Amino acid sequence: MTHIRNNSAQIIGGKHRGRQFKFADAEGLRPTPNKVRETLFNWLQFEMANATFLDLFAGSGALSFEAISRGAKTVVSIEKDVVSFKFLQENKRLLGVNNLTIFNQDAFDFLSKKIDVFDYILLDPPFDKGFLSKALSLIMENAFLAKGGKIYIESEFKITEDFLESGFIINKQKKSGMVHYCLIQR
């Protein structure tokens, strides 16, 4: 039997600022650090009202809960790991939010069918698995990104325009520790 530790993190801004949420001790799970979340949502702060978010590879839910707290209209979170999924459901219940939908599903299965379009897509896949380019291709192939929408990426390497699908431009980019993160759009 696998030992599961209860880890916790904190929402750093918005309506639920200061609220704690717990997440599973799952392999490869690394919640987006506070400093990185703060920067991301500073980038988006004037665009959040009535925005829809898709959080692929939701993991701890740090990005989803931060988006909800800061005024996102709706957030759809996708998490394949069943233990992490259960933590997401419990945190949703504890926060009392009704504009968060969580699917216990593989991100690539989700992206294989056109469900909806989103203003923002949060893309923080497990590192060193090659998931990033596959996810970007499916997002564009199945038109998940709304016109004028943006994709947030976290990766173990610096994102370049050569790496991206044609037509994408990098709006903003930073590095914190070993994590590279950027905001892109078409």
Q: What is the DSSP string of 92-131?
A: HHHHT-SSEEEE-S-HHHHHTS----EEEEEE-PPTTSSH
Look-up of token digits 């596959």:
134
pLDDT in the model for residue 64: 96
In angstroms, rounded to a whole number, what is the distance separating the alpha carbons of residues 59 and 144?
20
pTM of the entire structure? 0.91
In angstroms, rounded to a whole number, what is the distance separating the alpha carbons of residues 8 and 67?
17
Quick one: CA dihedral 136, 150, 145, 84, positive or negative? Answer: positive
Of the CATH numbers 1.20.140.10, 3.40.50.150, 3.10.20.30, 3.40.50.300, which one belongs to the domain with range 7-185?
3.40.50.150
pLDDT tens profile 37-74: 999 999 999 988 899 999 999 998 999 999 999 999 99
Averaged pLDDT score across all residues of the chain: 89
Contact 64, 101 (CB under 8 A): no
In angstroms, rounded to a whole number, what is the distance separating the alpha carbons of residues 167 and 173?
17
Domain ranges of the chain: 7-185
pLDDT in the model for residue 33: 77
pLDDT at position 27 over 80: no
In angstroms, rounded to a whole number, what is the distance separating the alpha carbons of residues 121 and 46?
17
In angstroms, rounded to a whole number, what is the distance separating the alpha carbons of residues 168 and 71?
26
pLDDT tens profile 82-114: 999 999 999 999 999 999 999 999 999 999 987
pLDDT in the model for residue 2: 43
